[in-house]
Amino acid sequence: MPTFTAVRLFNEDGRRVSRVVTMNLDDLDPGEVVIKTRFAAVNFKDARAVSGEGNVVKRFPCIPGIEMSGVVASSALARFRAGDRVTVQGGPDFGIRRDGAYAEYVRVPAAWVHPVTVEFDEFTTMALGIGAYTSSVAIERMMALGVTPQSGPIAVTGATGGCGSFAVDILAGLGFEVVAITGKASEAGYLRSIGAARVIGRADIVSGPKPLEEQRWAGCIDTVGGAPLDAILRSLKKGGVVCAFGNAAGETFTTSIYPFILRGAMLIGINANHPVDQRGSAWSRLATDMKPRHLDRIIQTIPFAQLKPYCDQLIKGGARGRTVVQFQ
């Protein structure tokens, strides 16, 4: 039985500590399908888990990482055969309550495994992954509520992040005027290069105590929550829609009733952790009208050996775009 390398999270006297360890298959949680990992991704919650921050991982020890792609090594069910190219993305427990993606081999229930679609290879599947999927679901929802490119500018908060970058790119491709809101003034050039018409500093949208401000935004894809979400709500145009799914700026926020009762503001929560068999239509759109046009600028690739230091950098807000982890 081969041994392999994994990043595993331990709870040591109440402190969460990740370590690079050597394991074998019997050490992993049970499952019908064993997959040799080729790529994984680093989402905000993955970086928090690896760095021992927050409460992402619920069981110890546990391998973090909520999405991966690779090649089936063995399967107890005929549905999958050795050599099949597959992906595991999200699901309620992967990398949370059961061993996840940051290992050279992954073992999971067959229900969590999805073939890599014909439009994408294993790398592109991870490059897009939960980041592009979540942003496309949020944009689709905003448009279904009546926001069109003619409605006015769309704000994207946390614009340099993985989800934020995809939101900027996809919205611009659909013909929207995108205003990128960021804490990194130095990344204005990057944000324009992926489709932002304008770039505004995070501090510049958080305004005074008035419950309503000048009407600026027809909609917003909010990846950060907290004070920026409150500022966006106060500056929404009549009938504007905010689709919110992130918490980097805070898990709570204060607002007033006035954007809702005087301007008809709509605040929509997005939970993109859909069952695998319900994700097809969003993935089809990511291959067609919502296809990101600047993958080469948004994606960076790091070797598995760099994962831990990279996660520490990401949670300090020091990353840009989306990161794919490459295994041997």
Ligand X SMILES: NC(=O)c1ccc[n+]([C@@H]2O[C@H](COP(=O)([O-])OP(=O)(O)OC[C@H]3O[C@@H](n4cnc5c(N)ncnc54)[C@H](OP(=O)(O)O)[C@@H]3O)[C@@H](O)[C@H]2O)c1
CA distances, 8 to each of 19, 23, 169, 323, 325 (Å)? 5, 10, 34, 19, 16
- 246 makes contact with ligand X (CB under 6 A): yes
Question: What is the DSSP secondary-structure string of 52-63?
Answer: T-TT---SSSB-
CB of 301 to ligand X, least distance (A): 15
Nearest residue (CB) to ligand X, 245 versus 283: 245
- 273 makes contact with ligand X (CB under 6 A): yes
Q: For ligand X, which stretch binds (CB under 6 A), given 9-17, 152-160, 290-298, 301-309?
A: 152-160
Answer yes or no: are the C-beta atoms of 256 and 230 closer than 8 Å: no
Half-sphere exposure of 191 (CA within 13 A, CB side): 29
At 167 the three-state DSSP class reads: helix
CA distances, 40 to each of 96, 163, 235, 239 (Å)? 15, 16, 38, 39
Closest C-alpha among 185, 218, 215 to residue 200 = 185
CB of 181 to ligand X, least distance (A): 7
CB of 136 to ligand X, least distance (A): 11
Nearest residue (CB) to ligand X, 272 versus 290: 272
- 44 makes contact with ligand X (CB under 6 A): yes
Nearest residue (CB) to ligand X, 90 versus 240: 90
CA distances, 239 to each of 56, 79, 209, 210, 259 (Å)? 35, 47, 22, 19, 9
CB of 98 to ligand X, least distance (A): 19
- 89 makes contact with ligand X (CB under 6 A): no
- 183 makes contact with ligand X (CB under 6 A): yes
- 158 makes contact with ligand X (CB under 6 A): yes
Q: How far apart are CA 157 and CA 183, in angstroms?
A: 9
Among 128, 272, 298, 299, contact with ligand X (rule: CB under 6 A) = 272
Answer yes or no: are the C-beta atoms of 232 and 205 closer than 8 Å: yes
- 130 makes contact with ligand X (CB under 6 A): yes
Among 69, 89, 124, 134, contact with ligand X (rule: CB under 6 A) = 134
Q: How far apart are CA 252 and CA 102, in angstroms?
A: 30
Q: Strands 299-303 and 15-24, how do they pair?
A: unpaired
- 184 makes contact with ligand X (CB under 6 A): yes
CB of 319 to ligand X, least distance (A): 6
Binding residues among 195-224 for ligand X as defined by CB under 6 A: 202, 223-224
List residues binding ligand X (CB under 6 A): 43-45, 130-131, 134, 158-164, 182-184, 202, 223-224, 245-249, 270-273, 314, 317
